[in-house]
Structure 1
Amino acid sequence: MSKLIFAAAALVVGSAIGSASADDASDLGGKLTPVGAERAGNAAGTIPAWDGGLSTPPAGYKQGGDYVDPYASDPKLFSIDKSNVERYKDNLSAGQLALFARYPDYRMDIYPTHRSCALPQSNYDKTRQNVGVAKLDAATSDLVDAIPGGLPFPLPKNGAEPMWNHRLAFEGVGRNVAGTSAVVDSGGNFVPQKWEEVRLSSYYNPANPTFAALQNVQLKYFTIYTEPARLAGEEYLVHETLNGERSAWIYSPGLRRVRRAPTLAYDNPSSGYEGLATNDQLYMFNGRLDRYNWKLIGKKELYIAYNNYAFANSKHRVKELVAENFPNRDLMRYELHRVWVVDATVKEGTRHMLPHRVFYIDEDSWRVVATDIYDSHGDIWRYQEETTVPVYDVPTCFSFGETFYDLQAGRYILDLLYNDDHRPDFHAETTGAATDDMFTIGYLRKRGTR
């Protein structure tokens, strides 16, 4: 396996790390986009300038239905496969190169780049206000101050700040989804795991205008498994915190009671994933940053899964998305985008089964879109990628598929699939599908015992 080594970086010692001076905010909305990306395209013309993204639905879109693909007529530019991968290696990650090396029939179909991610104007306004205000604790990288409603660090100065932009990426205030996960064996077989999840963001709720009003809560969510039988009825309630440990509870149908779930974090194995993913790999990365040193490497032009409306469309059922060794190549679209590169190494005296991770963060959405993961010998071990789709009725960008590859085991997980279920509801706080009284132990117990 290929190796990639970065020097470990230590966070600045002190009580707090500021992001940037308030004067730097003048660049936002000018030579930079409102979230801090480079507005201009690249010199080669293969990445266009940002023109505002997709902020209104195209003709033919109906609320609650599949997203109409505004780029359906795009021609495929070329494919990267084993025969020509060397030519494009500078725009590929170590994990992507490892996939080409392991699987002779792996390929990436490349399409024209569209910088389609957009956010509501209120998010842009609050993001600008956060410059010079948002701060991290130097020892733990916890968020200790910010103006809710906007990205905290549009002008990142260290590696932890882009990770917080990812954690706080806007996905609507309330969200109600039903999805499928597929843990795929080496023959391409899987047993569907089905679940329902409701989320309510405290950070983006207009009722919380100040950091103090959040009461240290970023968001609340509960998840219930409905299939297969061995998981059916298992429920989780989580209050995700901004600093300190998250609060989590589990309802076990076998025990018929609610108990605390302190292991729902860090490198504890994720339920139902057969040891192929840790809890903090879900959603590309989640939870506290305190076990890693974070180093901001810079930017890179990378081929990533983007604008994948075909992959997200319900006409393609989950069984069509899954193929042997990797998701169906005919339904995957890749584009060249600029990404921030953040190197994470486990702190001395701290343990984590994933000792070295390299995160690639899309400059337009601040979402982690790819991750290289190394073992203790420095060999590439796992690779993750997100299938990013702009949801223009919000507007924001969202994951309609997340792939976890274990390159040593030769297996993968395809997660966050909504093709077989109702379309995600990104307005659940207005439809009554996500209300604050749902996220209590009493409500969890009531759901579990009814």
Structure 2
Amino acid sequence: MKPILAPLAALALLLSAVPAAARVTDKEAAQLGGTLTPVGAEKAGNKDGSIPPWTPGKQRGSLSGEFYTDPAVEADKPLLTITRANMAQYAPRLSEGHLKLLATHDSYKLLVYPSHRHSAWPEPIYAATRENAVRCELRGTDELYGCRLGFPFPIPKSGAEAIWNHKLKWRGESVTRYNNQMIVQPNGQFQLTKIIEDVRFVYASIRNPVTLEGGQSDYLHYMARTTAPPRLSGTTILVHDKVGTGSEGRAAWLYTPTLKRVRRAPTVCCDNPAEGTDGNQFYDQVDMYNGVLERYNWKLVGKREMILPYDPFRLISPKTRFADLARPKHLNQDLARYELHRVWVVEAELRAGETHAFKKRRFYLDEDGWAIAMIDNYDNRGQLVQFQEGHIGFGYNILATSAAPEVIYHFGSGRYFVTTLFNEDKPYDFTQDYRPDYFSAATVQKRATR
């Protein structure tokens, strides 16, 4: 067995903070597909072999009706178990959130398995990413120019650039997602909300790619319809996400059965509680992080080897019921899987004059897929008050990496919130081909009242 714990010195951050910069040189871009994967990760494993070389997966499976599975990975046995008793030994490779969960709950543990690096993307994404490396430019935190289809910043120079890689990653052309959400009380009891989400990825579309050219350029259209519980059924949220700041960065509408009409919803933003979550998730915590970046100063801290939630086949299996997941204080950790991977560390500090429930956020992005795996959230006193955990999985059917489920731990109340669950529902349907006018206020009104 390869050792999974390296000396603390080897875990020092590899890059110091760097200011925002435009584009990379041709020499830097030439590393893509060479020493780096086509989207910017290091191809090689680490020195002791506990992180393997990149071995991209091959496309297989159906675009609809497909529950993700990988029998070879699922057959792995844990290498080790991290508990409160031995957490200090592994602390350099743990987030503050995981350390707090381990220190607080005797029942909490991390089962660490062999690491796998199968993340891969369609060839057009690779080609577009190579072009973006020397063409795409970020002005400020939210104005992108010259970016088309692929990851905008495969060799990031700033924290904001790394976050934009997460926001603009390829996830198929369009999708219908059956999203079940659990609010779990400290005693393990939970209430369930059921949502159907339709998404059109305007920017990351191989069929109809667009070039982002500053404010008002759409990159994603989203519609969410709540179907349960009855008191929320029929509530619909429509979002047009754009590059740009303030109101330019997002246009949103809300339909509620009580009003029976669609209205503009500027509050679908930032640290306002998301509909149907009873305050357990802010709007900018959907998909781990979304929306404008302008309220924060973003720092690219560097790269680090860390233990991440990864390959969550048991968590999302149709054999696993929602009741199997919910446990007092935390998710059922017998079903969760963790692996050692390299991450980009990004810190966001609230700007002077801006307001948000979180003064500081620390993001950990998987280097292979640019998906946010973990976030430590600190309040205005500097206390760690929330921890977000996104269980990273690879979809062989569409060649994309994203997080499901996502968990938000609330350290003050002892509650936790779980979203993007589909075990007892239908898997994602990537065969959709939505017309642009489907994501309009008129369509929402018509569907809601017919």
Displacement of 1:209 after TM fit?
4.3
CA distance in 1, matches of 2:68, 2:378: 36
Contact 1:361–1:370 at 8 Å: present in 2 too? Answer: yes
Q: Which residue of 1 aligns with 2:236?
A: 235
Number of positions where the alignment pairs a residue of Structure 1 with one of Structure 2: 431
Q: Which residue of 2 aligns with 1:148?
A: 148
Post-superposition CA distance 1:252-283 (Å, at most 9, x none): 10010110010000111122222222111111
Q: Which residue of 1 aligns with 2:323?
A: 319
CA distance in 1, matches of 2:196, 2:118: 28
Match of 1:306 among 305, 310, 328: 310
Displacement of 1:131 after TM fit?
1.1
Match of 1:96 among 95, 98, 109: 98
Q: Which residue of 2 aligns with 1:285?
A: 289
| Change over 3 Å in CA distance of 1:306–1:217 after alignment to 2 | same
Contact 1:19–1:131 at 8 Å: present in 2 too? Answer: yes
SS in 2 for 1:309: coil
Amino acid in structure 2 at the alignment position of 1:179: N
1:255 counterpart = 2:256: no
Match of 1:276 among 268, 273, 280: 280
Displacement of 1:10 after TM fit?
9.8
CA distance in 1, matches of 2:249, 2:215: 15
Q: Which residue of 2 aligns with 1:443?
A: 443
1:426 counterpart = 2:426: no
CA distance in 2, matches of 1:11, 1:355: 20
Post-superposition CA distance 1:400-428 (Å, at most 9, x none): 20000011211100111011111101232
Q: How does 1:181-192 map to 2 (within 5 A)?
A: 181-192=181-192
**Unmatched runs of 5 consecutive residues or more in structure 2:** 1-12
| Change over 3 Å in CA distance of 1:211–1:420 after alignment to 2 | same
Contact 1:322–1:414 at 8 Å: present in 2 too? Answer: no
Contact 2:76–2:113 at 8 Å: present in 1 too? Answer: yes
TM, length-normalised to structure 2: 0.92
TM, length-normalised to structure 1: 0.92
Amino acid in structure 2 at the alignment position of 1:64: G
| Change over 3 Å in CA distance of 1:190–1:221 after alignment to 2 | same
Q: Which residue of 2 aligns with 1:119?
A: 121
Moved more, 334-343 or 315-324: 315-324
Q: Which residue of 2 aligns with 1:3?
A: none
Q: Which residue of 2 aligns with 1:164?
A: 164
CA distance in 1, matches of 2:281, 2:212: 32
SS in 2 for 1:131: helix
Q: How does 1:375-414 map to 2 (within 5 A)?
A: 375-414=379-418
Q: How does 1:50-129 map to 2 (within 5 A)?
A: 50-51=54-55, 53-57=56-60, 64-70=65-71, 71-129=73-131
1:18 counterpart = 2:22: yes
Post-superposition CA distance 1:73-99 (Å, at most 9, x none): 112111101111111101101111000
Displacement of 1:19 after TM fit?
3.1
Match of 1:29 among 23, 33, 51: 33
Q: Which residue of 1 aligns with 2:197?
A: 197
1:365 counterpart = 2:369: yes
**Unmatched runs of 5 consecutive residues or more in structure 1:** 1-5
Q: Percent identity?
A: 38
Q: Which residue of 1 aligns with 2:43?
A: 39
Please, what is the CA RMSD of the aligned residues? 1.9
Post-superposition CA distance 1:279-336 (Å, at most 9, x none): 1111110000000000011011111111111211111121211111111111101000
